[in-house]
Amino acid sequence: MSRDPWSDIVLGARDMMPMALAAATYGTAFGLLAIQSEFSLAQTISMSALVFGGSAQLVALDQLVAGAGVAAAVLAGAALNIRILLITASMRAALTHRPWWQVMAGVYVATDASVALMQTAKQRGTLASYHYLFGGGLLLLLVWIAATTLGALLSQGIPNPKTYGLDFAIVAVFVALLPGLWRGRQDLAPWGIAAATVAAGTALFPDHAAWALVCGAVCGAVVAGLRHDA
């Protein structure tokens, strides 16, 4: 891209806006559920700011509420987010020859939506620059933290989020985002393996559905890595 860094940051933030607004929906729901699970406001906001992983946060929260312990919650969240390794690998061109602190910042804000941003840039006939990806990721981070905070603050007025279907909103919004992440037939194998693993795990071990998600994420990521689809 020939634009200056600030222009790329603004463009990345603009292109991320639709996905950020969608993420705000389940970010709010996460804030509600976290407070209902006896997290404090500070813990809820800190988790969103430091972990910055919607699905990983939900799985970790589920493990903590179930009494599995902090180590199990961290392991579950980390395993589910193993796909981020593939996402950052696909960002290699944008991260190469950058100072270490820029690389760390770029990796920190990398999410599934980063793939969609790279696809958007590709459709323009250009490569996603570092600042373009960083601008999009930064906007998503700020919206995620703000939405989580809003959900946590609103929790006092909603005794049980499940009564209003807010827990399902997280799943619904994630499903709605999937078409934007689909890159074509190359995603069929890893997505299929991940879905089959989750379905089998849930059917065989219904009391440990969270671990089925973790196993599905790991299997899908491994398949994608072996096929060099990152």
Considering the entire predicted model, what is its pTM?
0.73
Residue 63 to residue 140: CA distance in whole angstroms: 25
- Contact between 1 and 134 under an 8 Å Cβ cutoff? The reply is no
Per-residue pLDDT at 181: 61
- Contact between 29 and 56 under an 8 Å Cβ cutoff? The reply is no
Per-residue pLDDT at 203: 85
Contacts of 102 (CB under 8 A, 6+ apart): 95, 130, 134
Q: What is the mean pLDDT of each run of 10 residues along the chain (230 residues)?
A: 79 91 84 86 92 82 80 80 80 90 93 85 85 94 94 74 55 58 74 86 78 78 68
Residue 56 to residue 10: CA distance in whole angstroms: 28
- Contact between 189 and 54 under an 8 Å Cβ cutoff? The reply is no
- What is the percentage of the chain residues whose pLDDT exceeds 70? 83
Per-residue pLDDT at 19: 86
Residue 7 to residue 24: CA distance in whole angstroms: 24
Per-residue pLDDT at 98: 93
Q: What is the DSSP letter of 128?
A: P
Contacts of 90 (CB under 8 A, 6+ apart): 115, 118, 230
